[in-house]
A and B are shown apart, each in its own frame.
Chain A
Amino acid sequence: MAVSVSTVRDSKPDRLVDAADATGRHRSELQTIIAGQRESLSHLQEHWSGQAASAALARGLDDIARQDRVAGRLLNLESALRNGGLQMGALRDALLDLVSSLERFGFAVADDGTVTPEQWLVGQFLDSLADKFTGFLQKMLQLFTDLDENTAAAIDQAAGVDIPNPPVEVGGQDIHIPSPDTDPADVKQWWDSLSEQQRRELIDRHPPMLGNLNGIPAEVRDQVNVAVMDDDLDRVQNVADRNGVSTDEVAGNPGRYGLTDGDVTRYQNAKRTQEGLLHQLGAQDGETRRYSEIGEQERRDKNWRPTMLWAYDPQAFDGKGRAAVSIGNPDRASNTAVIVPGTSASVRDGWLSDGHNDAIHLYGQSLKADPADPTAVISWMGYNTPESFTDPNIANTGLARAGGDALAWDVNGLNVTHEAGVPEHVTVIGHSYGSTTVADAFANSGMQADDAILLGSPGTDVARSAADFNLDGGQVYIGDASTDPVGWLGQMGNTLPGELNDSLGNMVGPTAGLGADPAFEDFGATRFRAEVPGADTIDPSDHSYYYTVGSESLRSMTEIVTGNGGRLDELGLLAQPRTELTVSTPQQLDVPVLGEVPLPHLEVETPVIYDPEWNRAGGSVTNDHGY
Chain B
Amino acid sequence: MSPSDQSTPKADGPTAPPPSDAESRAQVVDTAKDVVRAADLRVTYASFQWEWCNDQGDPPFHGRVDMAFEVQPGADSQGLGRQIAATLAELPGWAPGPPPGFQPAGDVVHRGGVMVIVGPGNYPERGAVEIYGECRNMNDHRDDNELTDITAEVRAG
Indicate if A610 sits at the interface (CB-CB under 8 A): no
Which residues in window 342-395 of A have CB below 8 A to B?
350, 353-358, 364-369, 371, 374
The binding surface of chain B is classed by DSSP as loop
Indicate if A543 sits at the interface (CB-CB under 8 A): yes
Q: Say yes or no: B57 contacts A282, CB within 8 Å.
A: no
Indicate if A533 sits at the interface (CB-CB under 8 A): yes
Q: Contacts A354-B52, A358-B55 given: A625-B60 contact, CB under 8 Å?
A: no
A355: contacting residue among B10, B98, B141, CB under 8 A: B141
Q: Give min CB distance, A430 to chain B, whole Å.
A: 13
Q: Say yes or no: B105 contacts A368, CB within 8 Å.
A: yes
User: Which residues of chain B have C-beta atoms less than 8 A from A283's C-beta?
Assistant: 147
Q: Say yes or no: A541 contacts B54, CB within 8 Å.
A: yes
Q: Give min CB distance, A325 to chain B, whole Å.
A: 14
Q: Say yes or no: A625 contacts B57, CB within 8 Å.
A: no
User: Which residues of chain B have C-beta atoms less than 8 A from A624's C-beta?
Assistant: 9-10, 100-101
User: Which residues of chain B have C-beta atoms less than 8 A from A365's C-beta?
Assistant: 104-106
Indicate if B68 sits at the interface (CB-CB under 8 A): yes
User: Which residues of chain B have C-beta atoms less than 8 A from A543's C-beta?
Assistant: 54-56
Q: Give min CB distance, A437 to chain B, whole Å.
A: 16
Indicate if B45 sits at the interface (CB-CB under 8 A): yes
* Chain B residue with the shortest CB-CB distance to A559: B105
Give the total of A residues in contact with B, Cβ under 8 Å. Answer: 56
* Chain A residue with the shortest CB-CB distance to B16: A626
For chain B, the bracket of interface size reads 35 or more
A303: contacting residue among B60, B103, B107, B128, CB under 8 A: B128
Indicate if B77 sits at the interface (CB-CB under 8 A): yes
User: Which residues of chain A have C-beta atoms less than 8 A from B10's C-beta?
Assistant: 624-625
Q: Give min CB distance, A409 to chain B, whole Å.
A: 26
Indicate if A136 sits at the interface (CB-CB under 8 A): no
Q: Give min CB distance, A329 to chain B, whole Å.
A: 12
Q: Give min CB distance, B77 to chain A, whole Å.
A: 7
Interface stretch, picked from B28-36, B86-94, B117-125, is B117-125
Q: Give min CB distance, B119 to chain A, whole Å.
A: 5
Q: Say yes or no: A533 contacts B117, CB within 8 Å.
A: no
A368: contacting residue among B61, B100, B117, B125, CB under 8 A: B117
Closest A-B pairs by Cβ, 10 of them: A622-B101, A627-B135, A544-B55, A368-B106, A303-B68, A550-B102, A302-B45, A355-B52, A625-B9, A544-B54
Chain A residues proximal to chain B, CB less than 8 Å: 275, 279, 282-285, 299-306, 350, 353-358, 364-369, 371, 374, 431, 533-534, 541-552, 554-555, 558-559, 571, 621-627
Q: List 29 A-B contacts (CB under 8 A).
A: A275-B145, A282-B66, A284-B147, A285-B147, A299-B123, A303-B68, A353-B145, A355-B49, A355-B50, A355-B145, A366-B105, A371-B78, A371-B119, A543-B54, A543-B55, A543-B56, A545-B54, A548-B54, A549-B104, A549-B132, A550-B101, A550-B115, A550-B132, A555-B104, A571-B103, A622-B100, A625-B113, A625-B134, A626-B9
